[in-house]
């Protein structure tokens, strides 16, 4: 497994390079880049000011525009938002955003910086991207860890109970809950929770935004912990409902497959109890895929499943940061977080494979590759 691990580690830089290359190329064709957005905002502000001057001047001024706009109305440039702006000013904006260089040069400069984990500064917040990620990470980590932990604590016992009672009333009744979990996305259930319990239309039992209440800084540990859990209740519930169904059915099917094998029949013939057969023989083999899938499940919930939930509940985490970065074309935040989380995802996938080998040494990826 050492050679396999080294090969996987050596492939990570190439994979990251491909991910960044594809996304950088796509971003070049996306309309409304950061320079154009900034120029549009500046022009919009100037237009509003011109309108106010025109309104104040009345008929005597004839509604004329400020002198700075004279002769610029028909100007042409690379940006639609630059109409009416001094070309030298537009060039300065391009320089500030780093767009005075050709795309290929900007790409290789970005790759060199990313190799040193230098993600630059946010275009619009003027703070390092690393600092932004560190500030937002606790929210996303809280959602990811708590929801993943609860999903496993609910799904594994439920899946085992459904497998041992396959076809019973309990199995049929709990299957409805699983069907609902499959059918209703987490973000839609989050909206339902807000309507029912967060002051939407009925009850106001839970807060709608943030992870702490105002004025809790000086409170005791127990009070702050209860306030933290109070804020987490609805978003974590939405993530759990949206994620437990798949793991429950995976657990049930894994146990059903193992229960029907010959070694289980032999163990029963030797006089072992059903509990002894289940937890002494079946459990370890059936849990292989489930245990090995934990890192991947954490990545899925942490970086994809929590995006809409963070936006809906106004939680200032990585998901909301990424959404705002895409909306504002904040490329340093977009590509910096993409690089960091792609690297983390690749490492966690490798950890998942190594965990699978550790749980069952018979699984040897190195031999399989050969």
Spatial neighbors of 201 by CB under 8 A, at least 6 apart, are: 195
86 with 161, same domain? no
Q: Are residues 48 and 150 in the same domain?
A: no
pLDDT, tens digit, 9 for 90 and up, residues 206-219: 887 777 887 777 78
pTM: 0.71
* Confidence band of 120 (pLDDT split at 50, 70, 90): confident
Domain contains 220: no
Does residue 74 sit in the same domain as residue 200?
A: no
76 and 133 belong to one structural domain: no
Among 3, 13, 38, 9, which Cα is nearest to 330's?
Answer: 38
Name the nearest CA neighbour of 244 among 170, 340, 180: 180
Q: Are residues 285 and 357 in the same domain?
A: yes
Identify the bridge partners of residue 204 per DSSP, sorted by sequence position. Answer: 198
Number of H helices, E strands in the chain: 17, 0
Alpha-helical (H) ranges within 318-359 are 318-328, 331-359
Q: Dihedral, CA atoms, 173, 176, 181, 184, nearest 10 degrees?
A: -150
One domain for residues 268 and 315: yes
The domain of 88 spans 34-102
361 within a domain of the structure (yes/no): yes
Judgement on whether residues 164 and 265 belong to the same structural domain of the protein: yes
pLDDT beyond 50 at 366 = yes
Residue 48 lies in a domain: yes
Q: Is the pLDDT of residue 73 over 60?
A: no
Number of domains in the chain: 2
User: 267-311, pLDDT tens digit by residue?
Assistant: 888 888 888 888 887 887 787 767 766 766 766 666 665 777 888
Q: How far apart are CA 212 and CA 178, in angstroms?
A: 32
């Amino acid at each position: 497994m050492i050679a396999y691990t080294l090969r996987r580690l050596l492939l990570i830089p190439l994979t990251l390079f491909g991910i960044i290359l594809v996304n950088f190329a796509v971003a070049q064709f996306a309309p409304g880049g950061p320079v154009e957005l900034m120029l549009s905002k500046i022009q919009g502000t100037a237009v509003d000011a011109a309108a106010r001057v025109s309104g104040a001047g009345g008929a005597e001024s004839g509604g004329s525009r400020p002198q700075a706009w004279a002769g610029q109305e028909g100007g042409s440039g690379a940006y639609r938002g630059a109409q009416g702006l001094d070309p030298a000013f537009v060039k300065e904006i391009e320089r500030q955003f780093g767009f005075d260089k050709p795309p290929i040069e900007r790409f290789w400069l970005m790759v060199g910086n990313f190799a040193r984990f230098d993600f630059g500064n946010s275009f619009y917040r003027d703070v390092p991207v690393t600092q932004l990620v560190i500030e937002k990470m606790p929210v996303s980590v809280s959602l990811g860890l708590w929801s993943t932990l609860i999903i496993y604590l609910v799904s594994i016992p439920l899946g085992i109970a459904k497998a041992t009672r396959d076809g019973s009333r309990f199995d049929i009744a709990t299957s409805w809950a699983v069907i609902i979990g499959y059918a209703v996305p987490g973000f839609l259930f989050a909206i339902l929770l807000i309507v029912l319990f967060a002051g939407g239309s009925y009850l106001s039992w839970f807060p709608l935004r943030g992870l702490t209440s105002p004025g809790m800084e000086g409170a005791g540990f127990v009070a702050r912990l209860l306030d933290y859990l109070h804020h987490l209740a609805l978003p974590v519930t939405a993530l759990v409902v949206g994620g437990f169904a798949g793991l429950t059915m995976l657990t049930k099917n894994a146990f059903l497959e193992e229960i029907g094998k010959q070694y289980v029949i032999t163990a029963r013939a030797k006089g072992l109890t059903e509990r002894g057969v289940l937890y002494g023989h079946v459990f370890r083999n059936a849990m292989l895929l489930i245990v090995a899938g934990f890192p991947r499940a954490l990545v899925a919930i942490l970086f994809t499943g929590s995006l809409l939930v963070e936006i809906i509940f106004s939680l200032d985490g990585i998901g909301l940061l990424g959404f705002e970065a895409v909306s504002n074309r904040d490329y340093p935040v977009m590509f910096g977080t993409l690089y960091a989380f792609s690297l983390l995802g690749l490492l966690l996938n490798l950890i998942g494979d190594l965990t699978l080998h550790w749980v069952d040494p018979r699984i040897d990826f190195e031999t399989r590759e050969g």
